[in-house]
């Protein structure tokens, strides 16, 4: 690990001032990803700017009937928050599918968005990796790439975004609130993470002088018919090979609106607008779900997630049977 400095931000304006003055510095929140990257010598910040004392740890109702989630709300608090459990259970379910209870106690909402890929080569500094060292090459393309991206890849990188929470946020059409030198802006979730193209070293469209202050959820939470399915090597403490977040709005057996996002298959959470269009206006039946699930590699997963959502199956990340 390199030597690094440590300072504390006194408020959001101070955090922005500090990061703008030292582009090699990094914010630290829960530290569950950044410290690992520093120990592996993948991240070498000049300084850690501690933001854990900023007042960004509340879940508040917004004027339009949605919710504003502070960037420092721990993942576990968020998943058990009464408003999230009641109105956005898809989000609660996705969060509980990730990591372990201890990690979720430390991990923050903002940090979860910015966690880096789990590509082994990215962590192995003895191998070429365009994300870690631009221009060095991609070891995964010809190497061990089980669990890498199948959608939106480039010849420079086939890494996936590892977050579970972000797949649900993509399906729910959340917004990311960020503050920089020019004030606060709102970024649609679909525009927050990037595809690798020829700059896989850049994961998101967050500017280097910006801090994430909150996530905004719109009023609609698909609380009656939702499902988050995570397919992985073990039932807990493993990243997704593929995950599927579904929200359905069903009235009289007909799907009025559908949301479907995939995780573990691309450099960003992957909204499947084509499948959503197939589902909208159609009866909530197995035939409809099979037509919508025509993506070869995720077909059975999509079919199962849609079936669980339509049946209103109670969601427990410990019990994956269709009831
Ligand atoms: C063993 C293990 C298993 C895991 N399994 C899963 C899993 O199955 N599913 C899953 O989704 N995740 C999993 N995780 C990842 C975990 O969810 C993330 O590490 C965590 O969410 C990161 O949050 P943090 O607050 O600790 O971020 P930190 O490590 O503090 O920061 C991460 C990055 O975000 C930046 N940052 C943090 N907050 C802000 C902010 N407000 N504004 C701007 N920049 C900011 C930091 O500078 C850093 O670059 C796992 C992690 C570990 C170690
Ligand atoms: S897939 Fe991306 S992160 Fe993995 S080795 Fe290739 S460039 Fe690096």
| Parts of the chain with a pLDDT under 50 | none
Q: What is the per-residue pLDDT for 301? A: 87
User: What is the rounded distance in angstroms from the CA atom of residue 78 to the CA atom of residue 118?
Assistant: 23
pLDDT, residue 294, reads 82
Query: Closest-lying ligand to the alpha carbon of 201?
Result: 2
**In CATH, what is the architecture of 225-311?**
2-Layer Sandwich (3.30)
Ligand lying nearest the CA atom of residue 142: 2
| Chain mean position to CA 88 | 15
| CATH 3.30.390.50 domain locations along the chain | 225-311
In this structure, the residues whose C-beta lies within 6 A of any atom of ligand 2 are 117, 119, 121-122, 129-131, 138-140, 157-159, 200
Residue closest via CA to ligand 1's atom 32 equals 111
Q: Which residues pair with 79 in a beta bridge?
A: none
Give the number of whichever ligand sits closest to the CA of residue 115: 1
Distance from the alpha carbon of residue 179 to the mean position of ligand 1, in angstroms: 19
Write out the CATH class of domain 5-50: alpha beta
Is residue 115 within 6 Å of ligand 1 at its C-beta?
A: yes
Q: What is the pLDDT of residues 171-225, one digit of tens each?
A: 999 999 999 999 999 999 999 999 999 999 999 999 999 999 999 999 999 999 9
pTM of the model: 0.96
CA distance 311 to 228: 13
In the chain, list all ranges with CATH 3.30.43.10.
Answer: 5-50
| C-beta of 230 in contact with ligand 1 (< 6 A) | no
Close Cβ partners of 129 (under 8 Å, ≥ 6 residues apart): 119, 121, 122, 136, 137, 138, 139
pLDDT score of 129? 98
**Predicted pLDDT at 215:** 98
Residue nearest to atom 2 of ligand 2 (CA): 157
Token output for 141: 């393309």
Q: Hey, whose CA ends up nearest to atom 14 of ligand 1?
A: 99
Q: What is the pLDDT of residue 153?
A: 95
Q: What is the pLDDT of residue 320?
A: 52
- What distance in angstroms lies between residue 140's CA and the mean position of ligand 2's atoms? 6
Nearest CA to ligand 1 atom 9: 98
The token pair at 215 is 């996530």
């Amino acid at each position: 690990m390199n030597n690094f400095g440590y300072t504390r931000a006194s408020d959001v304006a101070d955090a922005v001032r500090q990061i703008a003055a030292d582009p090699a510095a990094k914010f630290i929140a829960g530290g569950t990803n950044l410290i690992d990257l520093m120990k592996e010598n993948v991240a070498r910040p000049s300084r850690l700017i501690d933001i854990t004392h900023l007042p960004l740890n509340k879940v508040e109702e917004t004027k339009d009937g949605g919710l504003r989630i502070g960037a420092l709300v721990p993942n576990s608090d968020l998943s058990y928050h009464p408003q999230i459990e009641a109105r956005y259970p898809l989000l609660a379910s996705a969060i509980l599918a990730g990591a372990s209870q201890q990690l979720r106690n430390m991990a923050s909402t903002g940090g979860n968005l910015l966690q880096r890929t789990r590509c082994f080569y990215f962590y192995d500094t003895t191998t070429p990796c365009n994300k870690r060292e631009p221009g060095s090459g991609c070891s995964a393309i010809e190497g061990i790439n089980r669990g890498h991206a199948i959608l939106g890849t480039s010849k420079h990188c086939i890494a996936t975004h590892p977050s579970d929470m972000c797949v649900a946020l993509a399906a729910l059409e959340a917004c990311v609130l960020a503050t920089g030198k020019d004030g606060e802006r709102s970024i649609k979730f679909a525009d927050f993470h990037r595809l690798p193209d020829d700059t896989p070293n850049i994961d998101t469209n967050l500017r280097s002088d910006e801090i994430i202050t909150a996530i905004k959820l719109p009023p609609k939470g698909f609380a009656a018919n939702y499902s988050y399915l995570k397919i992985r090597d073990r039932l807990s403490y493993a990243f997704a090979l593929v995950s599927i977040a579904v929200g359905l709005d069903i009235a009289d057996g007909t799907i009025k609106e559908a949301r479907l996002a995939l995780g573990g298959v691309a450099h960003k959470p992957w909204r499947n607008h084509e499948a959503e269009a197939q589902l909208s206006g159609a009866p909530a039946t197995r035939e409809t779900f099979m037509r919508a699930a025509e993506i070869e590699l995720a077909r059975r997963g999509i079919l199962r997630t849609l079936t669980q959502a339509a049946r209103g199956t109670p969601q427990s990340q410990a019990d994956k049977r269709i009831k």
